[in-house]
C-alpha cells in the first residue's frame, strides 16, 4: 500500500488505526479505488423493483426505463440515448435460480465467492426456503429507509463456506470493527437496541437453519451474532447507483446549442419533480458493502476526503476534498453533508448510536463549549427509529 501514497498506521491509543497520506494529494485527486469484499442490495429496495446486478449493483434498467418507473410517466422519452451506460446485451442470469447480473464476469465472480451456497436452485420463488423466510422476517423487523440487510450477513457466511482457505476468509472479516457497545457511554449499536432483543435471537436461529455454521461457529452464538450485526452496522458502506443519474451526468457534459440545452435541462427538472412526487428521495438502487481499506479510514466532522461511487456500481472511490500533506491522516465523514452541519450534540448522538464512538475531531473540540441544547429538528431528523 505504501507505493499507492497511503498506508494504514496506528494513529493513537484512542483511535487505533487509520489511513495516513504518504505523499501530497491535491484537492479533488483520487486517493484510492476499492471493490467490496461482499456487498448486497437492500431487501426492501430489491422488492420495490430497483433492478440491479446481484453482485455489483450496476443498474439493469436503462435510463429511460428507470425514469419511467420512478416518475410514473410510461410515455416518457429521453433524448441522447447513447448517454445511457446500461449495457443490456451483457445482462445474464444464474441458470438455476434466475438471479440477474450485469455481465458474465459478475455471474462468475458471485458464483465463486458466495452464490453457490445461496442459490435457491429454482426459478420459482420458494416461500418456504429458509433463506426466503430469513429475508422476509428481516423485512418485517426493519422497514425503509434501510441501513443494513440480513442478506449481507448471509453472504459473509457463504463467502467463508466457499473459500478454499476458511481461516484466511474469516480473518478478512475479523479485521473489521465489531464492537457491540460503546464502552464509554454503554450505548449499544442501534441494530442491537432493546426493541430488537427478541428479534435478534429469532434471526440468529433462522440463519442457523438456512446456512452451514461449521466454518464460522462463533457467528451463530448469541454473542457472535450480535457482533456480526454490529460489524455490518458500523462498517457497512451505503452504495447507491442510478441509470438515470448517470444519463443526466453524461448528457450534461455534452456540447450542444443553447436552445437544446435549455430544453434538456427543463426535461431533467420535470423528471426529477415527477420522481419526487412518486418516490420522494428513494431514487437509487441501494445497498451496503464491506470495504477493507475504506473501513480503516476514521471519521472527522470536518473531513479532508469523501467517498463517491462514480461508476454507478459498487466500486468505491475516496477523493480528497482539499490538499492533504504527507503524514496527515485521511478522514471521511461517516455522516452525510447535512448531518455534519448539525450541532455537536446531534452529531455525537448519531455517531455514538451508529458507530459506537465519541468524536473528538478538531471541529468537535472547537465546539466543546457550545450550548449543549440541540434543536428539536436536529433530534427528530437526525435520529431515525427505522433501524
- Note the pTM of the prediction, 2 decimals: 0.88
pLDDT in tens, 313-364: 999 999 999 999 999 999 999 988 889 999 999 998 888 877 878 899 999 9
pLDDT of residue 178: 57
Over range 225-235, report the average pLDDT.
Answer: 89
pLDDT in tens, 12-51: 887 889 999 999 999 999 999 999 999 999 999 999 999 9
Cα–Cα distances in angstroms (integers) from residue 189 to residues 91, 104, 180, 237, 239, in the given order: 38, 38, 6, 16, 21
Over range 4-11, report the average pLDDT.
Answer: 92
Cα–Cα distances in angstroms (integers) from residue 314 to residues 4, 88, 227, 244, 287, in the given order: 21, 18, 24, 17, 9
pLDDT of residue 195: 66
Report residue 189's pLDDT band, with 50, 70 and 90 as the boundaries. Answer: low
- Number of neighbouring beta carbons within 10 Å of residue 273: 10
Average model confidence (pLDDT) for the chain?
89
pLDDT of residue 52: 97
pLDDT in tens, 40-86: 999 999 999 999 999 999 999 999 999 999 999 999 999 999 999 99
Strand partners for 30: 319
* Nearest alpha carbon to residue 279 among 42, 73, 52, 39: 73
Report residue 381's pLDDT band, with 50, 70 and 90 as the boundaries. Answer: very low
Report whether pLDDT(180) > 60.
no
Report whether pLDDT(187) > 80.
no
Amino acid at each position: 500500500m505504501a507505493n499507492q501514497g497511503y498506508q494504514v498506521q496506528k494513529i493513537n491509543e484512542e483511535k487505533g488505526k487509520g489511513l495516513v497520506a504518504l505523499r501530497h494529494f491535491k484537492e479533488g485527486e483520487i486517493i484510492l479505488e476499492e471493490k467490496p469484499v461482499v456487498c448486497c442490495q437492500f431487501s426492501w429496495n430489491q422488492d420495490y423493483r430497483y433492478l440491479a446486478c446481484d453482485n455489483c449493483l450496476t443498474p439493469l434498467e436503462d435510463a429511460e426505463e428507470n425514469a419511467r418507473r420512478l416518475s410514473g410517466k410510461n410515455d416518457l422519452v429521453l433524448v441522447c440515448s447513447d448517454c445511457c451506460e446500461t449495457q443490456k446485451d451483457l445482462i445474464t442470469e444464474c441458470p438455476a435460480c434466475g438471479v440477474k447480473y450485469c455481465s458474465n464476469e459478475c455471474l462468475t465472480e458471485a458464483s465463486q465467492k458466495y452464490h453457490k451456497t445461496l442459490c435457491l436452485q429454482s426459478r420459482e420463488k420458494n416461500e418456504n426456503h429458509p433463506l426466503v423466510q430469513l429475508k422476509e422476517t428481516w423485512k418485517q423487523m426493519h422497514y425503509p429507509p434501510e441501513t443494513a440487510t440480513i442478506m449481507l450477513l448471509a453472504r459473509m457466511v457463504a463467502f467463508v463456506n466457499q473459500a478454499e482457505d476458511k481461516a484466511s476468509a474469516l480473518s478478512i472479516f475479523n479485521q473489521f470493527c465489531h464492537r457491540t457497545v460503546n464502552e464509554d457511554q454503554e450505548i449499544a449499536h442501534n441494530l442491537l437496541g432493546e426493541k430488537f432483543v427478541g428479534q435478534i435471537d429469532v434471526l440468529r436461529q433462522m440463519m442457523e437453519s438456512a446456512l452451514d455454521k461449521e466454518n464460522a461457529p462463533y457467528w451463530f452464538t448469541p454473542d457472535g451474532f450480535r457482533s456480526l450485526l454490529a460489524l455490518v452496522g458500523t462498517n457497512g458502506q451505503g452504495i447507491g447507483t442510478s441509470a438515470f443519474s448517470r444519463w443526466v451526468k453524461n448528457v450534461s457534459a455534452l456540447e450542444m446549442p443553447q436552445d437544446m440545452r435549455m430544453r434538456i435541462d427543463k426535461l431533467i427538472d420535470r423528471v426529477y419533480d415527477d420522481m419526487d412526487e412518486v418516490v420522494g428521495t428513494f431514487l437509487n438502487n441501494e445497498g451496503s458493502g464491506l470495504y477493507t481499506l475504506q473501513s480503516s479510514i476514521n471519521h472527522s466532522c470536518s473531513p479532508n476526503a469523501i467517498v463517491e461511487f462514480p461508476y454507478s456500481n459498487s466500486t468505491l472511490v475516496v477523493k480528497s476534498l482539499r490538499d492533504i500533506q504527507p503524514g496527515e491522516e485521511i478522514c471521511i465523514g461517516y455522516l452525510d453533508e447535512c448531518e455534519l452541519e448539525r450541532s455537536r450534540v446531534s452529531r455525537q448522538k448519531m455517531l455514538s448510536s451508529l458507530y459506537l464512538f465519541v468524536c473528538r475531531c478538531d471541529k468537535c473540540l472547537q465546539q466543546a463549549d457550545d450550548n449543549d441544547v440541540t434543536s428539536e429538528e436536529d433530534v427528530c431528523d437526525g435520529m431515525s427509529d427505522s433501524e
